Structure 1
Amino acid sequence: MAHGSDKTIRAEQIEQVEVTSWPGFGQKAKRHFTRWWWLHVLVFCVCFLITTLCLIYIGMPKIAQSGVDGSTMEFTDLQFLDPAPGFLTITQNAVLHSSSIFTPTLDPFKASLYLVTNDIFEPIPVTSLAIPRAHVLHPTSNISIVGQRVAIADLGQLTDFATQVLTLENVTTALTGKTKLHEGYLPVVDVHYNSSTTYQTLNGLKGFNITEVKLNLTAPDGEPNLHGSIYFPNPSVLTVALGNVTLSLATKVSGVVGNATLLNLTITPGNNTFPMAATLDQAKALASTDANGFMDVSITGTSVIYNGQHITYYEKALASNVLSLKLNVRQILADSE
């Protein structure tokens, strides 16, 4: 009997040990979270706050700058008016293209206008422009500068710019500056604006022609004796006020054979036609005429005067673009009778 009792006692002890064994991981976790739930909520909130702040104060500036860098500008109207030796009046209307989902507002800022040649920024800006406050929408928004009088920062750069505008098919310029970006209730971000734009220009005045030419054989010496119209297309959105322009007329045989004057010349988009008055040395012109009655003429800009002042940057640009034209002298004489 004693042996049986001992076995029963040991069995009860084993059952008791099994019943009082350590709880599993799930039970431990449940007990832990039940007791310390508030601590976990606090840790989660702190981590969420840190992540959010990092996104706002570290990620947001990068996102904002990336959005600005990804935007492009397309000019719809670009006017250079009222030229002076040290100043220009600029009107600029443009469409701003943005692929960003954000619609930020940029504070007004001062931007430097650079000429970009072969993707290389020139070392000195042409001028500076006051860019107005702009609300950037997706995918497009408008930005305008109207009648802004600007000082020429570097005459050499403006001369190079004017020369490229006159002689090339396209030109590239860039606006650069620093401003502040606002996006809703997010912190204000400092951004660097740097936008290059390539646009059509005057393309060397291709299509240039002189029409309706008549010669006044009885005009007094020194007075205009040749009249007609100068025509050329302007494929760009550019408007350029030049003023009174003098052109030199020359041939290989006789050299300079005369000069032509265009008064109050302003080039506008589309087809341009201007009245011309010229003083022609008839003897030299006839000596330069071939057997078929044609004269090959080289036409070069020599003087640009606006409000009584020489505009040297336009004079140098015109001098760099020599135009060639074949005039039918026999036909001109026949039309002049």
Structure 2
Amino acid sequence: MATQPTTTTTTTTTPPTTTGPQGPVANAAGTRPENVLDDASSLNDGVHEKGAPVGLSKREKAKQHFRRFWWAYVLALVIFLAIFLPILFKVIIPAIIRNVVKDQELPVRGGALNFTAPTHLNMSMDTMLDTPLGVKIDSVPLNLYQPPADPEHDDTDVKGPFLRLQMPDQHVNGETKIHAPEQVVQVLNQTQITAWFNEFFDKELVDLHIKANDMSVHLGALDYKVDMDKTVKVPGLNYLKGFGVIDMKFSIPAEPSGRNLRGHLLIPNAGVIALGMGNVSFNIMAGDVNLGLVRLYDFDLRPGNNTPAFDGEFYFDQLIPNLPAILDSQRSALAEGVVELHAKGNSTINYGRHIPYIEGVLNIKRVPMRIPVTTLLVDLMEALVSHGDGNGNGTSSQGVPLLDHLGDVLGNRTLFEQMLSHWDSTGGGGDDAKGSASGGKKSSSLTRSVRRSMHTNILKLGLRRLRSKF
């Protein structure tokens, strides 16, 4: 294999020359080529810096923008505040306050109604307000209405309020207890207050419509006027459920005052409002037959169970004439071993004056009460025999025969005299002369026999009562 000849080329760099008037000359000061390249690089760098300057950051651009157009932003802010602030203070905040007032539940947590007169009463009330911000509420009258029968047609303004309660100044911040102290309140509408008390007596919860016009609310230095229009729930009496007789005692014969009945009642108040009733009287009804009258004195019906003492008259003389009607009204109750009577309002008097808006409610109610038959009979029999002279003669301390008492109280003494006469005439088994001769001894013997029989029956009833308890 033949070998190619190698050729070596030598390159000679000739320094650049310039042509002068006397011919070509070398670069001045004997400048080297690398120095020429350095100068060219420096020239190129200078040209690049002038053509593409370094950019500003976003923050610097924003500052520069605001420095140029600050007046435009200030003008826009002034225009915005001029539009927004009136809307805030005249539209938004009042709307918020109205919604806060509208959302208030105003729960009635306590209070008192003292029925002092036909045209006015003493009233106090405890409730609660809840606000997200601290506000001051000026004193304002609360108008109390009977709620409209049809919620879609509010006729409260036409009927008018039946009471007006003044609420004092309040500082409210969060959940705040509100107390309206006792004050004299005029009865503005007798018909409406009677209708409301009728529902208050019957129901466990009763509606009460409350209105307050132009209520002043202060939020700091800002003042607002708002209206309150609320229907709240008030715990009622629930028809005095649980009403009954705790104990009673008959007096035979009656006391000089005419009273022959005393004892204690159980009267529950399921609500939270205390009622100052005054002197209250009830008729004792068995069906449609009036069997007596019960009186309570200076009676306050406080929340919870009340056990007032009572006195009155039991109309024994109405038992015999009305016995069929009484037994017919007690048919289902007697099957359960009880007597069912009803208390019907008779009168409500306070400070010597009738209270019409309470009498208009109580006088149409029939509150049931059940008394065990054994309890009633034992109390009656104890009354009949308690006046014996202790010598077995069956006479009272005044010397009046026991059966004469029974005949007097039942209003049919002639009937008992005929029964005694019949037993006297048949008990001897002889002719009239013999019967007449021994009449005194037979009458005395019969009286003692009846008395012993009564004591035996009372003992049996007492033993049955004890056995029923255990």
Q: Is the 8 A contact 2:204 2:270 kept in 1?
A: no
What's the secondary structure of 2:146's corresponding residue? strand
2:163 matched to 1:127?
Answer: yes
Q: Which residue of 2 aligns with 1:48?
A: 81
Alpha-carbon deviations, 1:222-244, whole Å to 9, x = none?
A: 71101111112212111001111
Q: Is the 8 A contact 1:112 1:176 kept in 2?
A: yes
Write the letter of the residue equivalent to 1:44.
L
Alpha-carbon deviations, 1:143-167, whole Å to 9, x = none?
A: 1111110111100111112211212
Write the letter of the residue equivalent to 2:97.
A
Write the letter of the residue equivalent to 1:112.
N
Q: How far off its partner does 1:325 sit?
A: 2.7
d(CA) in 1 for partners of 2:161 and 2:185?
12
Q: Is the 8 A contact 2:244 2:370 kept in 1?
A: no
Q: Which residue of 1 aligns with 2:135?
A: 104
Q: Which residue of 1 aligns with 2:217?
A: 181
Q: Which residue of 2 aligns with 1:213?
A: 248
**Given the superposition, is the C-alpha separation of residues 57 and 326 from structure 1 closer, same or farther in structure 2, using an over 3 Å criterion?**
closer
Query: Which structure has the highest helix share of the two?
Result: 2
Q: Is the 8 A contact 2:240 2:270 kept in 1?
A: no
**Match for 1:115 among 139, 142, 146?**
146
Q: Which residue of 1 aligns with 2:354?
A: 310
**Match for 1:59 among 92, 108, 124?**
92
d(CA) in 1 for partners of 2:135 and 2:262?
57
Q: How far off its partner does 1:198 sit?
A: 0.4
Q: Which residue of 2 aligns with 1:280?
A: 314
What's the secondary structure of 1:84's corresponding residue? coil
**Match for 1:162 among 197, 201, 213?**
197
2:371 matched to 1:324?
Answer: no
Unmatched tracts of structure 1, length 5 or more: 1-18, 20-25
Write the letter of the residue equivalent to 1:310.
H
**Given the superposition, is the C-alpha separation of residues 326 and 44 from structure 1 closer, same or farther in structure 2, using an over 3 Å criterion?**
closer
Q: Which residue of 2 aligns with 1:264?
A: 298
Q: Is the 8 A contact 2:190 2:357 kept in 1?
A: yes
Alpha-carbon deviations, 1:219-272, whole Å to 9, x = none?
A: 15871101111112212111001111111112237x212211111111001110
Q: How far off its partner does 1:306 sit?
A: 0.6
What's the secondary structure of 1:163's corresponding residue? helix
Write the letter of the residue equivalent to 1:131.
M
What's the secondary structure of 2:134's corresponding residue? coil
Q: How far off its partner does 1:294 sit?
A: 5.4
Task: Give the percent of matched residue pairs that are identical in Structure 1 and Structure 2.
Answer: 24
What's the secondary structure of 2:341's corresponding residue? strand
Bigger shift: residues 147-156 or 42-51: 42-51
Bigger shift: residues 59-68 or 217-226: 217-226
Larger RCO: Structure 1 or Structure 2 (Cα < 8 Å, ≥ 6 residues apart)? 1
Alpha-carbon deviations, 1:182-234, whole Å to 9, x = none?
A: 1113x311100123220211110110001211111111587110111111221
2:110 matched to 1:77?
Answer: yes
Q: How far off its partner does 1:49 sit?
A: 3.8
Q: How far off its partner does 1:304 sit?
A: 0.5
Q: Which TM-score applies when normalising by structure 1? A: 0.83
d(CA) in 2 for partners of 1:308 and 1:134?
38
Q: How far off its partner does 1:57 sit?
A: 1.8
Q: How far off its partner does 1:335 sit?
A: 4.4
Q: Is the 8 A contact 2:284 2:294 kept in 1?
A: yes
What's the secondary structure of 2:212's corresponding residue? strand
**Given the superposition, is the C-alpha separation of residues 43 and 312 from structure 1 closer, same or farther in structure 2, using an over 3 Å criterion?**
same
d(CA) in 2 for partners of 1:128 and 1:236?
21
What's the secondary structure of 1:321's corresponding residue? coil
Q: Which TM-score applies when normalising by structure 2? A: 0.60
Q: Is the 8 A contact 2:111 2:126 kept in 1?
A: yes
Write the letter of the residue equivalent to 1:180.
S
Bigger Rg, structure 1 or 2: 2
**Given the superposition, is the C-alpha separation of residues 223 and 29 from structure 1 closer, same or farther in structure 2, using an over 3 Å criterion?**
closer
Aligned length: 308
Aligned CA RMSD, in angstroms, stands at: 2.7
What's the secondary structure of 1:276's corresponding residue? strand
Write the letter of the residue equivalent to 1:164.
E
Q: How far off its partner does 1:32 sit?
A: 7.3
